[in-house]
């Protein structure tokens, strides 16, 4: 996740550097500037690299789908909304060569719940609708309590995906389990099958349904959320496509989360932005995963809550009230 810093320096785009920029950065720019040509929508996901340079005459260079560099008048550029098919296709594919992985250091979690809030605001959820939830855990009478943030475990052998009757939830090659709420029929078999209770269902109209009406559905963000369908943690697939850390990871004030690529054997801490070796981190800290005996092979690792950096303070119990249905 070293991209994070590079990202920041790019805020004022320097046209000469455009060429050198990675495809991912380009796509981000593309969506911001809206400089999408007729063929742009296809290029958005097809993975072709792409150059552009503004000429003094108001011409724009555009790389077409079949890899030809062409020039078109700038005033003929039409802004295209990223079309849903393209978003879906890239959402299916995932980021090539990556195997996303998360490490959660339980010795640092003090239940600030910033991860929960950031996630809920990004995904337009209510305070009691969770993609990630921080639980109070206690293994047995004599062992201490500790806080445990629990996102979707993005299992490599996901029971939820096996049982889905319509391929609405699926496993991507980069390890992420996604949910397509335009496909989901709302049978909730996946909820029944998930041993981590990681999934939520829209029992009522989603909180921001009215505002999101016009939005094009992005399967990597799962917004707009839809009534009568499943939603769940997506490892912030939309953010990592832009080279950023997931919402929860960046929001944590206490350095609980690491996120990265298993293939690179590197994970970056969301708070300190420090990048460390995954294998070393797990080895030194006796990393483990939840309910391995079920054979689900989660992609989320936990570091045990030993030598706690913070005292365990339960704090006042918050009461959650269901919005009237």
Partner 1 sequence: MNEIRFSSPKEQGKLDSVASDVLRNVRISKAFIIWIGFLFLALAACLYAYIIQLKEGLGVTGLRDYTSWGMYIANFVFFVATSLVGMLISSVLGLIGYNWVKPISRIAEIIAIAFAAVAGLVIISDMGRPDRFPFLFRFGRIQSPILWDVTVVTTYLVLSLLLWYFPLIPDLAISKNRLHGRPSFLIKVYELLSLRWEHHESQYRILKQAMRILLILIIPTAFAIHTVTSWLFAVTPRTGWDSTIFGPYFLSGAFVSGTAAVIIAMYFFRVNYKLEKYLTPFHFEKMGRVLILVSIVYIYFNLNEFLVPGYKLKTGDAIHLRELFTGHYAMLFWGVQLVGLVIPVILLLIKQMRRPMPMMIISVFVLAASWLKRYIIVVPGQGHPNLPIQNVPVEWVVYKPTLIETAVTIASILLVLIIITILSKLFPVIPIWEIAEDDHDKEKLSGNE
Helix, coil or strand: residue 143: coil
Beta carbon of residue 255, minimum distance to partner 1 (angstroms, whole number): 22
Please give the sequence-ordered ranges of beta strands (E in DSSP) within 177-251, or none if there are none: 177-179, 199-201, 230-232
Radius of gyration for the chain, computed over Cα atoms and rounded to the nearest angstrom: 21
Beta carbon of residue 296, minimum distance to partner 1 (angstroms, whole number): 8
Q: Is 313 exposed, middle or buried (0-12, 13-18, 19+ CB in 10 A)?
A: exposed
Nearer to partner 1, 74 or 192 (CB): 192
- Break the chain down into helix, strand, coil percent, rounded to 5: 25, 20, 55
Helix, coil or strand: residue 118: helix
Nearer to partner 1, 100 or 196 (CB): 196
Q: Is 87 exposed, middle or buried (0-12, 13-18, 19+ CB in 10 A)?
A: buried
CA–CA–CA angle 309, 312, 313 (5° rounding): 130
Q: Do 243 and 232 touch, CB atoms closer than 8 A?
A: no
Nearer to partner 1, 48 or 126 (CB): 126
Beta carbon of residue 50, minimum distance to partner 1 (angstroms, whole number): 33
Beta carbon of residue 159, minimum distance to partner 1 (angstroms, whole number): 6
DSSP 37: -
Beta carbon of residue 187, minimum distance to partner 1 (angstroms, whole number): 6
Beta carbon of residue 251, minimum distance to partner 1 (angstroms, whole number): 17
What is the C-alpha separation between 241 and 287, in angstroms, rounded?
Answer: 27
Nearer to partner 1, 39 or 134 (CB): 134
Nearer to partner 1, 69 or 136 (CB): 136
164's CB contacts (< 8 A; 6+ apart) are: 170, 189, 190
Both tokens of 6, joined, read 């590079």
Binding site for partner 1 (CB under 8 A): 128, 130, 133-137, 150, 159, 162-167, 183-189, 191-193, 195-197, 199-205, 227-230, 290-291, 294, 296, 318, 320-322, 325
Nearer to partner 1, 188 or 284 (CB): 188
Q: Do 152 and 100 touch, CB atoms closer than 8 A?
A: no
Beta carbon of residue 322, minimum distance to partner 1 (angstroms, whole number): 4
Nearer to partner 1, 159 or 260 (CB): 159
Nearer to partner 1, 70 or 136 (CB): 136
Q: How many CA within 13 A on the CB side of residue 304?
A: 11
Beta carbon of residue 320, minimum distance to partner 1 (angstroms, whole number): 5
């Amino acid at each position: 996740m070293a991209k994070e810093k590079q990202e920041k320096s790019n805020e004022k785009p320097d046209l000469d550097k455009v060429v050198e920029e990675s495809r991912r950065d380009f796509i981000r720019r593309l969506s911001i500037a809206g400089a999408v040509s007729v063929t742009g929508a296809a290029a958005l996901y097809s993975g072709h690299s792409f150059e552009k340079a503004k000429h003094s005459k108001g011409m724009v260079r555009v790389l077409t789908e079949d890899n030809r560099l062409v020039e078109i008048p700038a005033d003929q550029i039409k802004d295209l909304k990223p079309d849903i098919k393209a978003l879906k296709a890239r959402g299916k594919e995932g980021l090539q060569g990556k195997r996303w992985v998360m490490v959660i250091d339980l010795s640092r979690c003090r239940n600030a719940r910033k991860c929960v809030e950031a996630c809920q605001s990004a995904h337009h959820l209510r305070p009691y609708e969770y993609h990630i939830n921080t639980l109070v855990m206690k293994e047995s009478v004599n062992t201490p309590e500790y806080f445990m943030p629990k996102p979707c475990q993005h299992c490599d052998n996901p029971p939820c995906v096996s049982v889905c009757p319509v391929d609405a939830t699926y496993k991507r090659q980069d390890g992420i389990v996604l949910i397509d709420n335009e496909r989901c029929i709302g049978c909730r078999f996946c909820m029944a099958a998930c041993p981590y209770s990681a999934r939520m269902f829209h029992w009522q109209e989603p909180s921001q349904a009215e505002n999101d009406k016009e939005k094009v559905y992005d399967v990597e963000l799962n917004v707009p959320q839809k009534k009568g369908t499943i939603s769940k943690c997506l490892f912030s697939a939309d953010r990592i496509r832009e080279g950023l850390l997931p919402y929860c990871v960046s929001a944590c004030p206490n350095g609980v989360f690491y996120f990265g690529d298993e293939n690179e054997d590197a994970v970056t801490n969301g708070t300190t932005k420090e990048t460390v070796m995954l294998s070393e981190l797990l080895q030194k800290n006796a990393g483990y995963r939840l309910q391995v005996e079920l054979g689900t092979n989660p992609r989320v690792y936990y570091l045990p809550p030993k030598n706690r950096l913070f005292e365990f303070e339960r704090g006042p119990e918050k009461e959650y009230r269901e919005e009237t249905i």
